Amino acid sequence: MENDDIPKRWSPVTDTVFEIIETLDELDEATVTVLADHLDLAASTVHNHLGALQRRGFVIKEDKRYRLGLQFLHTGMSVRNKLRMREVSQSAVDDLARETDEAAWAATLENDWIYFICSARGEDAIQAYGDLGARRRPHSIAAGKSILAHLPEETVHGIINRTGLEKHTENTITSRDELFEDFESIRERGFALNRGERLDGGRAVACAILQDGEPLGSIGVSGPAHRFEGEQFTDELPSAVLAAKNIIELDLSSPS
């Protein structure tokens, strides 16, 4: 979402509720006092909001400590299961994992971030790179770069302005010029590579899933560098991912 699409006026009370939720997610669990201190809010304000969240099942109280509840999982899975992209991607992801024996996944871009919406594990899969529900900045992963490469340059600059080019490893691309050069290569060869740009020793291959030239998401595989090398990394795995991408695009073009 572009900043211009966000309403100019909103409720600060709602902002406070989501600040509490995000802080609980960050801290795992906390008392009212800890939350109040962390957010610089009155303890009574925090307590009232926690009570409302607790009544709806989004927060659980154990002794005097609060944590997020599984109602978030229920809501998140409901959102995921309604995605057309997820529906048409899962079988292709399953097949890709069986074919490559690695971790396979599909992801999409929403509000500047990459979200992994389905995943499967082959026999040799060892990474949690594409775990279901994971959220990542797009610049440092193959799933994200494959999508960014097919977006208008102005849109990509806006995403980078908001999410930054955080350096995760020595291989992370933190220069806009270098990143846009990588996008040119991605478009030419049809797939993106992650050469340990987010995790040391981790690699990935991804292809954008396109509909009428617009990227709806991406599909890919990830694994350790010692298996993702040579022709396996630059030819065999990309061929498998490209085939899976083509299947999804055909399914997307078919009537629902």
Q: Are residues 96 and 190 in the same domain?
A: yes
Q: What is the pLDDT of residue 40?
A: 94
Domain end call among 44, 74, 104: 74
- 195: domain CATH number is 3.30.450.40
Residue whose C-alpha is closest to residue 67's, from 58, 76, 78, 55 = 58
Q: What is the pLDDT of residue 86?
A: 85
Q: Are residues 66 and 91 in the same domain?
A: no
Query: What's the number of CA atoms in the CB half-sphere (13 Å) around residue 96?
Result: 32
Q: What is the pLDDT of residue 127?
A: 59
Q: Are residues 116 and 48 in the same domain?
A: no
Q: Are residues 226 and 169 in the same domain?
A: yes
Domain count, the chain: 2
150 pLDDT exceeds 80?
A: yes
d(CA 220, CA 107): 9
Q: Are residues 130 and 91 in the same domain?
A: yes
Q: Are residues 133 and 39 in the same domain?
A: no
d(CA 137, CA 193): 15
Q: Are residues 122 and 32 in the same domain?
A: no
pLDDT in tens, 159-191: 999 999 999 999 999 999 999 999 999 999 999
Rounded to an integer, the average pLDDT of 107-122 is 93
The parent domain of residue 139 ranges over: 83-253
Q: Are residues 145 and 183 in the same domain?
A: yes
Q: What is the pLDDT of residue 1?
A: 40
Q: Are residues 143 and 202 in the same domain?
A: yes
Rounded to an integer, the average pLDDT of 20-40 is 94
Rounded to an integer, the average pLDDT of 21-38 is 94
